[in-house]
Chain A
Amino acid sequence: MRPPGDGPCPCVRDPVHRAPPSRPMSRAHAAWFVLLVLLLLGCAAALQVGEGDLSDAALRATFLSLRGWRLANALLAGAALSVGGVLVQGLFRNPLASPSILGTTAGASLGGVLVLVLWNSLLLGRVPDWLPGELLLPIGCLAGAWVALGLLLATTGRRPGIVAVLLTGFILSSFFLSLGGLLSSMAQETWELGRAVVAFTLGGVDTKGPRHVAIALPMVLVGTAVALGWSHHLDAMLAGEEEAASLGVDVVRVRRWVIIWTATLTAAAVAISGGLSFVGLIVPHALRPFVGETHRRLVPAAFVGGATFVVWADVIVRLVPSRGHVPLGVVTGLIGGPVFLFLLARAQREGRLA
């Protein structure tokens, strides 16, 4: 069985040079097989589960289309965050980095809230003719994500240690959350605006439709293509910036573009799903032992793996018996938090945090 998703593996024609270890290769194949099966099952479940009765022939098409767009948004958000995670982990040579831990998600979220509030207070809900209303939120998220990553890099300097990066990300994240809290309490003066802000910050894809897909899809596809294009640069940077530069990598340029595209991917995910934490951390981490650490193999696997993870999280959201609505970000956080703690504890034991 050779799953179709394994296409990116650099297959060598010369038999002598075939990618050597047969066991790791079959591990990768098995991982891809499991991933694709899980993805298909998740998509099927996402279409079957939820409010609304599919047996009603009149409403069946409507429900399926609503769930279909919700599914598409979940796929995109997961893929974007997961590939973004691979990019920052490569950039910081640190498997514990991810857009949410570095404060990029919180920054994008704050940017989105800021836009919502400004739009309603300054522009009184009106938008200039040349600007489609749906673009406002992504623009805010994009600006927020770029500022957040820029601040992180400006404070940690050129050769940050792991602890410095994690601490700075934590502080930035808390700061952005506080600012977001301030804005959202100010927004409560207008009931509708307050509701919109809270719904956005808690995260979810349940009300997202084709326009969100149309906005996020190009950002996610281009971001992933760029990640694949930089994969050999990122491989070389696993050996540190100095060694990478000696091998001919233009480190400054790679760094700049990786930051821009990580922030863009994060912003796309936040714009369509609010803040989903830990996706970019645990998905690449779970995949590395199976597909290896070379980015040519890791990026496509992370794309599919992230999509699968968020689709299943969104299925769980609908399965939890609850009167109200369980936000998607809560589910990814509930799964991701303990996993991250476990990884951190293991890294501490193995002395990799020094």
Chain B
Amino acid sequence: MSARMSPSLCQGLVVSGLTAGHRPRTPVVHDVSFEAPRGRVTALLGPNGAGKSTLLKSVLGLLPHEGHLRLGDTDLGALAPRDRARHLAYVPQRTLLTARLSVRAVVELGRFVHRGPLGSLQRADHRAVDAAMEVARVAELRDRPFPELSGGEQQRVVLARALATGARCLLLDEPTAALDVRQVLHLHEALARLAEDDHTIVVVLHDLAEARQHAHHAVLLHEGRLHARGPVDRIIAPRTVREVYGVDLVEGAGLGWRIPGVGQ
């Protein structure tokens, strides 16, 4: 690893020696260490069952785990779950929310830890909610009932909920799996803007082409262990892809996409 990525200098998310699983005695993830730099999108890659979601959820504190977790200067392991939620925000592959809450009410759920003793939202909370809805481009949906939205719109609302928490590190679990190609591009465009705004983004992705197009760094898991980490172009390479996925990478194959008029 280069000096730039060494834990002492990295201002993003630092995972060292993480072992985790749904049951403490039978871990799914073994001794994984990596750094997700601040201001960058880091893709978490690996075949089905490699432990990507388990890793993400244990970083969030949703699963039992051992090892050290740091975000910038903050030792996440020392924090109570409520305080960890101030630093990390989660976007699941698909939310389980089916209640008829308005979009704004869903985004307001992101302010949970910031609510006062009586549970009311302050002016700062409303500003954070508005700003999050702007960034995730759901401001115009604010009064719509959440269950009536399309999958892509729901995913943007959940992203807005994550942004409303004010956390500087976003962890996304296959957020694009249920989206069409246009929605995928919009989501990645939002993530890129957040990264430019100095957020730390860790996103589990299935599609290697998508990862190579949109992520800066990659962490490749194989059978619960770290296989490789580094700049995404170096990780998604013929040798690693063959070793981990058992397929040959065909350079120049596949289709590329972009939103008309945005970027070149």
Interface residues of A (CB under 8 A from B): 10, 12, 14, 17, 20-21, 93, 229, 231-233, 235-236, 238-240, 242-243, 245-250, 288, 292-294, 296, 352
- A interface footprint on B81-93 (CB within 8 Å = 1, 0 otherwise): 1111110111010
Closest to B104 in A: A20
Given A20-B102, A231-B119, A242-B92, answer yes or no on A247-B165 (Cβ-Cβ < 8 Å).
yes
A246 close to B62 (CB less than 8 A): yes
Distance (whole angstroms) from the CB of B174 to the closest CB of chain A: 14
Q: How far is the CA of A229 from the CA of B95 in the complex (A)?
A: 25
Given A232-B119, A246-B90, answer yes or no on A238-B99 (Cβ-Cβ < 8 Å).
yes
Q: Can you report 9 residue pairs joining A to B where beta carbons are below 8 Å apart? A: A12-B126, A93-B98, A239-B97, A243-B97, A247-B110, A249-B112, A250-B82, A292-B105, A296-B119
B126 contacts which chain A residues (CB < 8 A)?
12, 14, 17
A246 close to B123 (CB less than 8 A): no
Q: How far is the CA of A248 from the CA of B83 in the complex (A)?
A: 7
A250 contacts which chain B residues (CB < 8 A)?
81-82
B92 close to A243 (CB less than 8 A): yes
- A interface footprint on B110-126 (CB within 8 Å = 1, 0 otherwise): 10110100011101001
Q: How far is the CA of A248 from the CA of B105 in the complex (A)?
A: 17
The number of residues on chain B lying at the interface, defined by a beta carbon within 8 Å of a beta carbon of chain A, is: 39
B81 contacts which chain A residues (CB < 8 A)?
245, 248, 250
Q: Kindly list 7 other residue pairs between chains A and B, CB separation below 8 angstroms, not including A20-B142, A292-B105.
A: A17-B126, A20-B143, A21-B143, A238-B101, A242-B92, A245-B60, A250-B82
Given A20-B102, A246-B89, A247-B109, answer yes or no on A240-B165 (Cβ-Cβ < 8 Å).
no
Q: How far is the CA of A73 from the CA of B121 in the complex (A)?
A: 36
Closest to A23 in B: B143
Distance (whole angstroms) from the CB of A187 to the closest CB of chain B: 45
Distance (whole angstroms) from the CB of B257 to the closest CB of chain A: 29
Distance (whole angstroms) from the CB of B73 to the closest CB of chain A: 20
B104 contacts which chain A residues (CB < 8 A)?
20
Q: Does B239 contact A (CB under 8 A)?
A: no
8 Å CB contact of A293 from B86, B100, B161: B100
A248 close to B85 (CB less than 8 A): yes
Q: How far is the CA of A288 from the CA of B83 in the complex (A)?
A: 32
Closest to B63 in A: A242
B98 contacts which chain A residues (CB < 8 A)?
93, 238, 352
